[in-house]
Chains A and B, each alone.
Chain A
């Protein structure tokens, strides 16, 4: 640091002066127009809510009046009231009509398009980038969303990053954000635990109708969900914890009951991927013996109709594989990871085919069956050096449905 002998030099190095720069006022106005359009679309939905509330208010008044006059009508009016309340309940959240939201700027569309470029086999979200729309601002951050070809979604918050649920089967997707110093993506396990001061994400109405955020002091918050109409069909939320507080957990609720979610991940800490699985109904799907103990794959249903699958080694849970709607495990596709457990390399994951094939470098093929949508197998050296693919009903290897066998993500 000897070259920086003065504060001015430090600041000059941090943000050097640039003499010639083009102004882009037109771009400012274009971005502002998008915000105006997004606000207008939101306003239309707001007026719809007002109308529903007014309708409900008037129905209350009418019901009270008629109850005094004609007893027979009471039942009918109550029925009407119930219907209106039910409607208001359904609409009692902020709603965004996706088709009315303004299209995203070209630079945003380009970012969504880039998700498919160079994506490993099986990891391409197949997003309809041209349909990306600015659906509004949540927590002070602009939110862009695009549907995927498989019925899922990809999203991005301005300055916050984003993600995809390509098949549309994730009940609750959560993103954690830090406002303090941070070691970066993929920090090693020796790093101190990460603490998140802000969270955002999405919920799917089919499984989750509310989100509850618990802070480290035990207080809970239910952030407003901003529901976006089909083809997105999901509610988004964002929450900044008060100064000095961190987010301890994010739960998805259905009818007031926690159905999915868990502790916020902390690097180096044990995860709980299935806190709402009904463990009394758990089943051991498969087991592999190693020199140092048993690696077993377990599954259990949740009250929300999901099926959670996790991996245990030596009787301890080491990784949650998935918590997906029942039936989705049979959708064509492969999702897998390799674990180094007890001196063995074990591949575990979901398999929507009758079997999975390991294609070795010498051209030979080893096939293993996929039972209940699961692949769980001890790898040979040839398997580990080769590729994996699904096997179709006719017995043909569907090359391209998988990809190279990855390196172990976890070692015990």
Chain B
């Protein structure tokens, strides 16, 4: 869905949302490490896209632009879930944060394994695996070149294979 004119149409944004929602949610869940915050990040990201749709410059695909907003929103949430309060109000009260939902014993190991990957490799892997995006759209989403996407994916797979092998040796 390449465009030459600036600005994204509301109907185009809605079409991507409706067509891609399961994949969007999976990617956001993978990035945030938890399902509910991931779903919330997708909603927030699309709200932001609707709000800023006039700012879409038509330099890439609308879908790539929307993926970029979702990835950034999910990363913000993931960062926030790891945020730490410091010297602040007199009577500090920490607002409740969504709790991680899954509790399988090996999930933490899986998360750690994937989280060890550099950002670019990890995000490229998520977009490729969960959303089956082509290299051009991943490149749009991550604001890198398509060639870099290929290299990042190869490096991610290789690193994961190596770490999985190491983990198996340890067990």
Contacts and interface: CB of A to CB of B under 8 A. Distances in A.
B95 A161 contact: yes
A383 interface: no
A56 B164 CA distance: 66
A143 interface: no
Contacts of B90: 165-167, 169-170, 322, 324, 335
A362 interface: no
A365 B104 CA distance: 49
B92 A13 contact: no
Between A14, A140, A165, the greatest number of chain B beta carbons within 10 A of the residue's beta carbon is seen for A14
Contacts of A175: 83, 85-86, 88
Interface in A227-248: none
B81 A159 contact: yes
A141 interface: yes
A373 interface: no
Interface in A170-200: 170, 173-179, 181-182, 184-185, 187, 194, 196
A39 interface: yes
Nearest to A162: B95
Contacts of B160: 7, 10
A164 B115 contact: no
B167 to A, nearest CB: 4
A32 B125 CA distance: 29
B94 A163 contact: yes
B109 interface: yes
B168 A1 contact: yes
A18 interface: yes
A14 B168 contact: no
B151 interface: no
Contact of A154 (B93, B111, B113): B93
A106 B47 CA distance: 16
Given A125-B91, A161-B95, A163-B92, A15 B27 contact: yes
A189 B59 CA distance: 50
Interface stretch (A21-29, A84-92, A352-360, A392-400): A21-29
Contact of A23 (B21, B26, B44, B157): B21
A28 B164 contact: no
B124 interface: no
B2 interface: no
Contacts of B129: 8, 11
Contact of B93 (A18, A28, A119, A178): A119
A14 B82 contact: no
Contacts of A335: 90-91
Interface string B75-89: 011111111111111
A264 interface: yes
A18 B164 contact: no
Given A4-B106, A10-B110, A21-B25, A125 B18 contact: no
Contact of B87 (A4, A27, A174, A187): A174
A161 B160 CA distance: 32
Nearest to A3: B106
Given A1-B167, A165-B89, A176-B86, A181 B115 contact: yes
Interface in B105-128: 106-107, 109-111, 113-115, 125-126
B88 A10 contact: no
B106 A182 contact: no
Nearest to A165: B89
A161 B81 CA distance: 8
Contacts of A32: 46-48, 50-51
Contacts of B89: 163-166, 170, 173
A280 interface: no
Contacts of A271: 87
A5 B95 contact: no
Contacts of A2: 168, 171
Contacts of A114: 96
A273 interface: yes
Given A1-B106, A17-B26, A7 B83 contact: no
A303 interface: no
Interface of A: 1-8, 10-11, 13-15, 17-18, 21, 23-25, 27-32, 34-36, 39, 111-112, 114-115, 119, 122-123, 125, 140-142, 154, 156-167, 169-170, 173-179, 181-182, 184-185, 187, 194, 196, 201, 262, 264-265, 271, 273, 322, 324, 335
27 contacts: A1-B106, A2-B171, A5-B168, A10-B110, A11-B114, A11-B130, A15-B26, A15-B27, A15-B38, A21-B25, A23-B21, A28-B43, A28-B46, A29-B50, A31-B43, A32-B48, A111-B96, A125-B93, A159-B77, A159-B80, A160-B79, A163-B95, A164-B93, A173-B88, A177-B80, A187-B84, A194-B84
